[in-house]
Amino acid sequence: MRNKSLMDRVRLLGRSAIDIVAVLGRSGLFLVHALLGRGGAGSSFQLLVKQLYSVGVMSLVIIVVSGMFIGMVLALQGFSILAKYGSEQAVGQMVALTLLRELGPVVTALLFAGRAGSALTAEIG
C-alpha cells in the first residue's frame, strides 16, 4: 500500500512538471508569433519597436518627475510626523520604502496608462 501511494505521488509530480513545460511552450510560441507578426494584418517588428519606444521610454520622464515630487511631499509630511517621536533620521528610509513598495508601482502604472492612452487617442484622431 505504501509503494502505491509513493508511485501516485511520483506520477502526480511528473504530470505537474509536464503541464508546466507545456504551458511554457505555448507561452513561448505565443510570444514568437506576436513578435514576428504571424497571423497579423501586415504588422512588422519595426512598428512594434517604435510603438514600445513611444509608449514606454517616452513615459519615463513624466514618471521620474512625478516620483520626485511625490517623494518630496512624503519627506515633508513624514518629517513632521517622525519629529514628534524623535525619529527624524528615519525619513529617508521611510520615503524610499514607501515609494519603492507601495506608491511607486501604482503611480507608475497610472501615469503609464494615462500617457499611453492619450498618445494612442492623439494618434487615432
Task: Report how far apart, in Å, the C-alpha atoms of 116 and of each of 14, 63, 80, 112, 113 are.
Answer: 43, 12, 37, 6, 5
| Residue-wise pLDDT tens digits, 59-112 | 788 888 888 998 899 999 999 999 999 988 999 999 998 888 888 888 888 887
Reference 115, options 67, 57, 71; nearest CA is 57
| Residue-wise pLDDT tens digits, 44-58 | 777 778 877 877 787
- Structure confidence at residue 124 (pLDDT): 81
Give the predicted TM-score (pTM) of the model: 0.52
Q: Decide: 99 and 74 in contact? Cβ < 8 Å.
A: yes
Cell of 21: 513545460
Q: String of b and e for 1-14 (b: at least 16 CB within 10 Å)?
A: eeeeeeeeeeeeee
Task: Report how far apart, in Å, the C-alpha atoms of 108 and of each of 50, 51, 56, 70, 89 are.
Answer: 21, 18, 11, 12, 27
| Residue-wise pLDDT tens digits, 2-45 | 667 888 889 999 999 999 999 999 999 998 887 776 655 555 77
